[in-house]
Structure 1
Amino acid sequence: MTTRPRDWEAIVDLIERVLADDDLLPAVVAAVRGHVEESATLPVSDITGHTRLLLTAAGRAVAARRAPTEAELTVVEQLAVNRARQGIPIDVVLGSVRISERAIWARTRELAEEAGIAAAHLLDARELYDDWADAVRTRLIRAHRETPRTNDVWDRDAESLRRLLEGGSAAALTAAERGFAPGAGLWVLVTRSGDTASTTAVRRLTEGTGPGLAATVGDALVAVVPSQPALRPQGSGSVVGIAGPVAAEELGVAHRLAVATVPAAEATGLTGAVHISEVAAVAALTSRPDLTEALALRHRAARHELGAAAEAVARTVRAWLEADRDTAAVARTLYVHENTVRNRVQRFAAVTGIDPHRTFGAISAWWLCHAWTVDS
């Protein structure tokens, strides 16, 4: 059935009514954010803006019975590039477009019935739209595929990151501005700055987490991302401390925990991605310099009595505890006789009064020996 000019005028009027529908765009954006998980991390304004552009371009093309112009395809390319840089896969982009199409055409059919437009005439318009959409999808896929993959989806906005790490209401407002989904758990990653291997490790861990923020804070590289990092081992020997998931208001606490994770992991010989829960006890000890100082001060006389042997004794006792009191293993590691290991443990217990064989004695012994070896 061929649509006559008068009938096509009705289609054009219908398209204009669809484009002017104030309730349509918010409904489309809500549908996309509700059904496509990766889109929930994007700002509403981002999705709304691109959806409006595509809807308007499609409406004008169908009304004029033409293919997309090069200017329209340039806009499509920019959408693909943005999504690629944000770490959004192309299948997710196309899925969002399909959800938008379903919502738009459902509303179009409703308005067509109210206007008394024949289904056959509406089908003609849909066929024109499908031709336009095929060209758009082809350009989307190509531009997304050709976007350079730098693996750096971070926005290095130090000021926004600072506000996030403040925690409280400032962090909540900043998280909303950045498009982080309300109520979604956020993750903090920390590693020592100036180390290329550590920076690379953080980038690999955050692949696929969605767009986050990263910046140098003090002597550390800090990143905040909206989904769980890939907690997989890294072969670089570096440590990336991780804390989360937490609400935006708790990011300040999470940052402190992630920072404490790095020296705690280093103290226990762990490398790669280390969550605070893996080293909670050690972090609790090493992150309290006031208590460490009190412990060291309490046993200052014992260290003085050990004299030049203090460092060797402390390293032996610490290694012995970390090896689950395996004397033979420690002797092999330190290249000493097993009796030397036993004598040093006994000497430590004698001068400090701490029994490293008991549970809490072992904790105090490790903590004190760690303080002595760090200071030496």
Structure 2
Amino acid sequence: MSKWDSIADLIERVVAAPDLIDDVVEEVRASIREISGLEASDVARHTRALLAAATRAIASRRGPTEAELSFVEDLAVTRARQGVPIHAVLSAIHVAERRIWARAKVAAAQSGVEPALVLDARELYDDWAQEVRARLLQAHRTVEATERAIDTDADTVRRLLQGGSAASLAAAAAGLPATGVHVLVAPHPDLAGLTAAVRRARVGVVTDTEAETIAVVGRLPGGLAGAPGPVGVAGPGRPEEAATLRRLAAAAARAAQARGRTGTVGVAEVATLAAQQDRGDLAALLVERHAAAVDGLGRVADHTVATVRAWLQCGCDAERAARAEYVHANTVRNRVAALTAATGLDPRDPFQAVDLWWLCVTWQARRT
């Protein structure tokens, strides 16, 4: 065994000692207030992984690999999102370092390993640890900056939706124009990637609510036209009109969902559907009026409603609707005849056709 192999083996035995991790975790949680609330298993898992990586680096006489630095980034992100400040993370690492090298000196003396080798190993470790700390700091600060941006955006959107002078001041602070803003709304889950698109293009502010992602922008970000999810768009308008634009954009997004459309959908493109989506009270009255007639169709009621909706959305083409619903065209015609006879709604009348489609959409929504 070479001299370096002997010091590498010694460090590996020190790190592998059964009580080392427990001692480190106990001291870290007792002495560092910001980490005391974390689960011991969490602290132990990350400490063990870091020490194992350091041991491999010493044995190979190298700096950290990209895989090791990626793990360090993950640790920084985890701790930042747990609210643990960077100084506490670095202090915890220092505790582990102090424990390891104190034990290494004792073990070296007992094993006859030259003190100079221990010093060389420590210098190599310090070089490794310097790169690790730099990546920790960078990743932790990136998360903190992102979290601050999220909080700032959320507050700005909230003030924009208040309207009046609060909206004007919020728009000015966010660098939004005094005229020509657009509001974009993506229902959750945000399949279109609205948040990422707005932040990448730096065109406005964006935040999440329980039901949707809302963005107020000075110009439309790229990359959304072919997105896999719908994004309702309303505007342009003044920042003071953001609340109204948000309501219109949300209605457009719901209308786009109802029609199976994706990408950006302007409210004017789906004006009739958006108006319907915005009037849940009228939808409820429509269902109430025809509920008995639909229920009277018995076990096939839900299938009938789905088929009639597909027929209407296929331009009243029985063949297209049959392919969409995986049924025979005659089945489509029979179900259309059954529902129209039961409700008295005549799809040849454009206004009644809209009512029939609205009834089908609302009926299905209430069944899910």
Normalised to the residue count of structure 1, the TM-score between the two structures is: 0.55
Of the candidates 196, 200, 205, which is equivalent to residue 203 of structure 1?
Answer: 196
1:228 maps to 2:220: yes
1:178 maps to 2:174: yes
Secondary structure of 2:296's counterpart equals: helix
Contact 1:189–1:243, Cα closer than 8 Å, also in 2: yes
Change (3 A) 1:270 1:176: same
Letter aligned with residue 181 of structure 2: L
Contact 1:207–1:230, Cα closer than 8 Å, also in 2: no
Question: Which residue number corresponds to residue 270 of structure 2?
Answer: 279
Question: Which residue number corresponds to residue 204 of structure 2?
Answer: 212
Distance in 1 (CA, whole Å) between partners of 2:318 and 2:241 is 44
Letter aligned with residue 167 of structure 2: A
* Equivalent residue runs for 1:49-128 within 5 Å: none
Letter aligned with residue 191 of structure 1: A
Change (3 A) 1:193 1:319: closer
Structure 1 residue 207 displacement after superposition: 5.2
1:192 maps to 2:187: yes
| Mean CA deviation greater in 253-262 or 170-179 | 170-179
Question: Which residue number corresponds to residue 163 of structure 1?
Answer: 159
Question: Which residue number corresponds to residue 302 of structure 2?
Answer: 311
Change (3 A) 1:179 1:329: closer
Distance in 2 (CA, whole Å) between partners of 1:246 and 1:231 is 22
Runs of 4+ displaced beyond 6 Å: none
Distance in 2 (CA, whole Å) between partners of 1:257 and 1:171 is 18
Q: Percent identity?
A: 40
Secondary structure of 1:240's counterpart equals: strand
Letter aligned with residue 346 of structure 2: D
Distance in 2 (CA, whole Å) between partners of 1:287 and 1:175 is 27
Contact 1:205–1:232, Cα closer than 8 Å, also in 2: no
1:355 maps to 2:321: no
Question: Which residue number corresponds to residue 289 of structure 2?
Answer: 298
Structure 1 residue 172 displacement after superposition: 1.6
| Cα displacement string for residues 224-243 of structure 1 (whole angstroms, at most 9, x for unaligned residues) | 111233475324x2112211
Letter aligned with residue 181 of structure 1: P
Unaligned runs of 5+ in 2: 1-141
Equivalenced residues, count = 221
Distance in 2 (CA, whole Å) between partners of 1:227 and 1:349 is 46
Contact 1:164–1:171, Cα closer than 8 Å, also in 2: yes
Contact 1:205–1:229, Cα closer than 8 Å, also in 2: yes
Of the candidates 303, 318, 321, which is equivalent to residue 327 of structure 1?
Answer: 318
Distance in 1 (CA, whole Å) between partners of 2:203 and 2:334 is 56
Letter aligned with residue 215 of structure 1: T
Q: Which has the higher contact order (CA 8 A, sep 6+)?
A: 1
Structure 1 residue 169 displacement after superposition: 2.7
| Cα displacement string for residues 61-96 of structure 1 (whole angstroms, at most 9, x for unaligned residues) | xxxxxxxxxxxxxxxxxxxxxxxxxxxxxxxxxxxx
Structure 1 residue 262 displacement after superposition: 1.8
Distance in 2 (CA, whole Å) between partners of 1:326 and 1:352 is 20
Normalised to the residue count of structure 2, the TM-score between the two structures is: 0.56
Distance in 2 (CA, whole Å) between partners of 1:193 and 1:341 is 33
Distance in 2 (CA, whole Å) between partners of 1:299 and 1:194 is 32
Distance in 1 (CA, whole Å) between partners of 2:175 and 2:197 is 22
Distance in 1 (CA, whole Å) between partners of 2:235 and 2:221 is 10
